[in-house]
Structure formats: C-alpha cells, structure tokens
Structure 1
Amino acid sequence: MDRSSQIINPVTTVTGLVREIRPWQWYKQGVMLLGIVFSQNLLNWGVWLSLLIGIVSFTTVASATYIFNDISDLEEDRNHPQKQHRPIASGQVSVSVAAVFGLILAGIGLGAAYSLGPLFLAILLAYLAQNALYSLVLKQFVFVDVLIVAIGFVLRAIAGVIAIDVFLSPWLIVSTFLLALVLAFGKRRNELEVAANPQQTRDVLGEYSENNIDQLLVMVMATLLMSYSLYTFSRTAPTMMVTLPFAFFGVFRYHHLVHTTNIAGQPEYLLTDRSSVVNLILWGIVVVAVLYNVPEMAVGVIQ
C-alpha cells in the first residue's frame, strides 16, 4: 500500500462512519418534541435542558443501532439495489471498526440517559432491546417487522414525555404509533417496487404484495385520521378541530406521493416536498396558536 492510500483510507473510513450514523434520519427524534408541545410546556424553559439531553441520548443510541443493523444485514444489503452502496456493505468501513464505533455511541447515549433518571434509561434500554430483537429475529416475520418499527417511534414519544416529567397522553401514543405504521408500510411498498427479487433483498418481502400493502395503508391512514379527529373533539377547546384540514391534507399528500414517486423509500425526503413542508409548518403554527391561546395573549399584550 502506498503512502497516498494510507492518507486517503482514514478519511474514507470517517466519511463512511458519518454516513453509517445517518444524520439525515435524526429528524425521527423530532417525535420527542410532541410531549412538550401538547403538554403546553413549550415556553417552560426549565424543562428544555432535560429534553435536549434526552434527544442527544436517543440520537446517539439510534445511530449505534443503524450500525449494528447494517452489520446484521450485511449479506442482504449486498443483494439490494440501493443498500449495497452503504459503507459497511460496500466495504468502505470494516465490520470491526464499525462495531467499535457503535459501542462508543451506545455508551455515550446510555450515559446521557442515566443522567435523566432510571425510567428514561429503561425506555432507552427497551429501544435497544427492541432493535436487537428486530435485527436478529423479528424482521423475518411479516407484519411484525413494521409493528416493531412503529413501536420504536412510540418509545421516542414516551421518552420525550418522561424527560420533562409530564402526563403521558394516550392520544400521543396512538397517533404516533399509527403515523409510524403509515411510514413503515409506505417504505415496504417502495422496497417491493425497486427490488428485482424482493425475497432475496429481504426475506419477509416475499410475504408482502403491493395490493396487500395498499389495502393496509388505506386502513391505517383512515384509523390515524379518525384517532386524530377524536383527539381534537376531546379537547376542552373545540377550536383544536381547525387543525383537521392540515392533518387530512398531510395524509392524502403522502398517499399520493407513495403511488407517484419513490419518496416512501426514504421518508426523510418528505422534507423536500414543498407541499408537505408548508402544510406541516401551517399545522404547527395553528396547533401552537390553539393550545397556547395565542389570540387571547395578543389581546392581553395590546391592552
């Protein structure tokens, strides 16, 4: 090996490790913000530090799970038209280096979680255990695979609530679970479309069909919209119902994109869809305005 290779290899490895931790998927920790918004603690600056520590701990542990999942899925990823380019599957990063880096990330995340108390640490350990079971066994069972993915988002939502020590709303759990299921089924549908031999790229894909997933998508989307609608009805302030058009548009838009683009394969690409982003921002503004009585606050300031 010449000197230039010795210089390039460490840089290549580092860039590969950065790709492995998937910074573009850190948006998933945004689910942890739901608790502080809907518990009406958004302006309670005293709880923000704990929440940020919680987000950092979940982000580093999630990054570690991406690495260990890729190590576990090494052979399957090499047969996948897109995943074969991942750093571990392509050989850009060795399995041993990736494993050590993953252990370091997991240690940092668990240490940060411990500082927030045993209950938060227990949630993070449950998330780790769930991912380990998924990689080793559960990903091989049809429907169980997408349910486990959805449960991972639920654990994030619960962690966000525990970090700031507020009431855990059952509506938060149900809506998060259903939304994650929608994204998971959309991703499975995309995998079926792009894979020449679905069962070779992921064993469980052979148990799915596009028609089956389309039916499940419609079913889960309808349940999601009904659950969110019931949540708005249950609010003491009926004005929360004004957020319903944004929720319906968001779900309809995703259903349209699943069937007309490849966006479902990488849900983070929704953040590049202008209509979805604008709708999400408007939904957030209206939610905050309703929950925090912004019109009344404005009147009070004027007076």
Structure 2
Amino acid sequence: MTEHGAALLDRPERPRRPRRSRRLPPPRARGLPAGLLRTARPRQWVKNLLVAAAPAAAGQLDSLANLARLALLFALFTAAAGAVYLVNDARDAEADRAHPSKCRRPVAAGEVSPAAAYTTGGLLAALAVLGAATLCNTLTGVLIVGYLALQLAYCVRLKHVLVVDMAVVTTGFLTRAMIGGVALGIPLSRWFLITTGFGALFMVAAKRYSEAVRMADGKGETRALLTEYTTGYLRFVWQLAAGVAVLGYCLWALEAEAAGAGWMPWRQLSMIAFILAVLRYAVFADRGTAGEPEEVVLRDRPLAVIGLVWAAMYACAVAGL
C-alpha cells in the first residue's frame, strides 16, 4: 500500500450531520380579528344552508321576503355556531396544544386568548338569540337557545358519552333543518323530520366510522371516545340510518304525490336521485374516507351532479310541472 493510501486510511472520518426533521413552520400571527374569524370555522358555515331545507321542501323560496328572512336566519345561526366553536376552543386550548394538528388553532397557538374567545362567543350567542326572537319569532329564538344549550353541554360533557355524542351532533343538523320552517311559519312534515334526522345520523356515523378506520390504521389522530366504539358498530349505525332515511324520503315523496302532481311524477322520480346520492356517499363511508362530510359533498363531482338532478326534479314537483 502506498503512503498516500495509508494516509487516507488514517484520516479520521468527518462526522455526518444528522438530517433535520422537517417541521411545519409556526403559525403566522394574523391579528385578533382574523384569529377569531378562523376560530369560528368559516369552512363549516356551509352546513347552515340547511336553514332553507324546510322552506325549499314546501316550495316557499319564490318570495323575496322569505329569501331575505332566510339570509338573516343563516347569519344568526352562523353566529350561534361560531359561538360554540369559540367556547369549545377556549375550553380545550391546553389539550389542543398537545395535538399535532389542533395545536395550530388560533386559541391553542396563542393568537387568541381564551378570555377573548369566551367573550366573543358570549356576544355572538346573545346576538343570535335576541336577533332570532325579535326579527323572526319567539319560537325561533327558543330553538337557537336549545341549540346553544345542547352544543355547549356537548363541549363540556356529552362528547364523552357513547351514542349520546352522535345524537347531539345529529340534533344540531336537525335543528338547522327545522328552524327555517319555524321562522317562516311553515308546518313541518313528519316524513321531512324523519328523513332529515336519519340522513344527518347517517353522515355523523359515517364520519365517526371513517375516523375509527383511520385510527386503527395509524393514519391520523382522532377523538378519544372512538376507542370505545367498534368499527362494526359504527358501520351498523350508518347503514341503519341510511336505510331509514331512504324509507322516510320514499314515504314522504309518495304521500306528497298523492296530494296532486303535474304531468310528470317528479316527486316519485326524485326518489331515484335521492337513493343514488345515498349510495354514492356510502362508497366514501365504506372506504373510511367520509371523515369530512363537507369535503365529500363539495368535491365529488358525480355526487354533485346527482344532487343537481335531484334538486331539478324536486323543483319541478314544487312548481307543479
């Protein structure tokens, strides 16, 4: 071996620098108003469009006065839902800081103080109740009070109680669907309530099932209560709820059709679109990818097309075409 080769062997190796783990950058401070707005979950506001469900089903969207009142009701219910989110995040700030994704929420990240979140939540709740009672009617205000009370109880305790947690979330959707009819003085059909209630339970149980599947696969952090559920039980719940929702809708469509129809049985035909929509959504539920219902509804093109077809058929039925 040459002297040069020996020198190379004797040269101490340079220590390798450890690879730096890729960490997400800390959340940027956006100011208190922006933090409060983000805490109110703007992406969740699409759910509040359900306030138009009962008036749409009754064919009462052809009046500017009704549309204006529904727009007001949408804003008031958005304020009520935002109040719940603000209180929830203020209460769970410490736990959220230890969570890999929830730590980026404004309250957990320190952009919004818990006191500011509690204060803003209280003001929004009061605004929603007083606005509904004075600008709509007393019963509308009572419904929002009931919604706030139930959702705040969910934040404090009920989200840790098996089955009750799903029932409370389902009730929130049902309240949204009922309140438009109550505000406009529209009688609510029993089949409408059954279809809406079990349709909401279907989506809630599918969401829980998807979260449980992801937790079992180690693909994501999720709520602690899911350790008490089994995927088999959650599958049973969303399948049962889907079946009852379809049955309720069919009975509703057939009962309404008996009262009168145009030259085409549009309500009966709309059952096909409704069933297809449920079956399409069930694909995502079965795969365990229905953890974000609003993402499924807004991003799946076939489901959107089926929804538009259903809406067109129902509009023709309401118009008596």
- TM-score, length-normalised on structure 2? 0.82
Aligned to 1:232: 253
* Contact 2:147/2:175 (8 A) holds in 1: yes
After TM superposition, list the pairs within 5 Å mapping 1:114-193 onto structure 2. Answer: 114-115=133-134, 116-193=136-213
Distance in structure 2 (CA, Å) of the matches to 1:191 and 1:77: 17
TM-aligned CA deviation for residue 113 of structure 1: 0.8
After TM superposition, list the pairs within 5 Å mapping 1:12-31 onto structure 2. Answer: 12-31=31-50
TM-aligned CA deviation for residue 21 of structure 1: 0.9
Which of the numbers 214, 218, 225 marks the counterpart of 1:204?
Answer: 225
**1:70 equivalenced with 2:66 (yes/no):** no
TM-aligned CA deviation for residue 140 of structure 1: 1.2
Calculate percent identity across the aligned residue pairs. 29
Distance in structure 2 (CA, Å) of the matches to 1:203 and 1:260: 21
Deviations 1:170-202 (A, max 9, x none): 12211111111111112212222334789x953
- Counterpart amino acid of residue 47 in structure 1: N
Counterpart of 1:265 in 2: which secondary structure? Answer: coil
Counterpart of 1:166 in 2: which secondary structure? Answer: coil
* Contact 1:32/1:157 (8 A) holds in 2: yes
TM-aligned CA deviation for residue 261 of structure 1: 5.9
* Contact 1:150/1:180 (8 A) holds in 2: yes
TM-aligned CA deviation for residue 72 of structure 1: 2.8
Which of the numbers 254, 277, 302 marks the counterpart of 1:275?
Answer: 302
Aligned to 1:5: none
* Contact 1:80/1:195 (8 A) holds in 2: no
Aligned to 2:274: 247
Deviations 1:277-303 (A, max 9, x none): 11111111110011112x3xxxxxxxx
Distance in structure 2 (CA, Å) of the matches to 1:90 and 1:122: 35
Provide structure 2 residue ranges, at least 5 long, that are not aligned to the other structure: 1-27
Deviations 1:179-229 (A, max 9, x none): 11111112212222334789x953421211212211221111111111111
- Counterpart amino acid of residue 52 in structure 1: A
After TM superposition, list the pairs within 5 Å mapping 1:24-39 onto structure 2. Answer: 24-39=43-58
TM-aligned CA deviation for residue 250 of structure 1: 0.9
* Contact 1:77/1:201 (8 A) holds in 2: no
Distance in structure 1 (CA, Å) of the matches to 2:121 and 2:109: 18
TM-aligned CA deviation for residue 143 of structure 1: 0.8
Aligned to 2:236: 215
TM-aligned CA deviation for residue 38 of structure 1: 1.5
Distance in structure 1 (CA, Å) of the matches to 2:275 and 2:144: 32
Distance 1:184 1:75, change over 3 A: farther
Distance in structure 1 (CA, Å) of the matches to 2:213 and 2:111: 27
TM-aligned CA deviation for residue 26 of structure 1: 0.9
Provide structure 1 residue ranges, at least 5 long, that are not aligned to the other structure: 1-7, 296-303
Distance in structure 1 (CA, Å) of the matches to 2:153 and 2:196: 21
Distance in structure 2 (CA, Å) of the matches to 1:191 and 1:239: 37
Deviations 1:232-277 (A, max 9, x none): 1111235311001211111111111123363x22211021111111
TM-aligned CA deviation for residue 79 of structure 1: 4.6
Distance in structure 1 (CA, Å) of the matches to 2:292 and 2:230: 19
Distance in structure 2 (CA, Å) of the matches to 1:154 and 1:16: 29
Deviations 1:129-180 (A, max 9, x none): 1111111121111111001111111111221101111112112211111111
Deviations 1:87-134 (A, max 9, x none): 223333221222222122223222321221211110100001111111
**1:265 equivalenced with 2:286 (yes/no):** no
Counterpart of 2:187 in 1: which secondary structure? Answer: coil
My pick for the range that moved more, 230-239 or 275-284, is 230-239
- Counterpart amino acid of residue 91 in structure 2: S
Aligned to 2:14: none
Counterpart of 1:53 in 2: which secondary structure? Answer: helix
- Counterpart amino acid of residue 315 in structure 2: V
My pick for the range that moved more, 11-20 or 274-283, is 11-20
Distance 1:201 1:285, change over 3 A: closer
**1:194 equivalenced with 2:214 (yes/no):** yes
Over the aligned positions, Cα root-mean-square deviation in angstroms equals 2.2
Q: Which has the larger radius of gyration?
A: 2
* Contact 2:76/2:132 (8 A) holds in 1: yes
Counterpart of 2:111 in 1: which secondary structure? Answer: coil
Distance in structure 2 (CA, Å) of the matches to 1:13 and 1:107: 21
How many pairs does the alignment contain?
Answer: 284
Greater share of residues in helix: 1
Distance in structure 1 (CA, Å) of the matches to 2:91 and 2:149: 14
Distance in structure 2 (CA, Å) of the matches to 1:151 and 1:142: 15
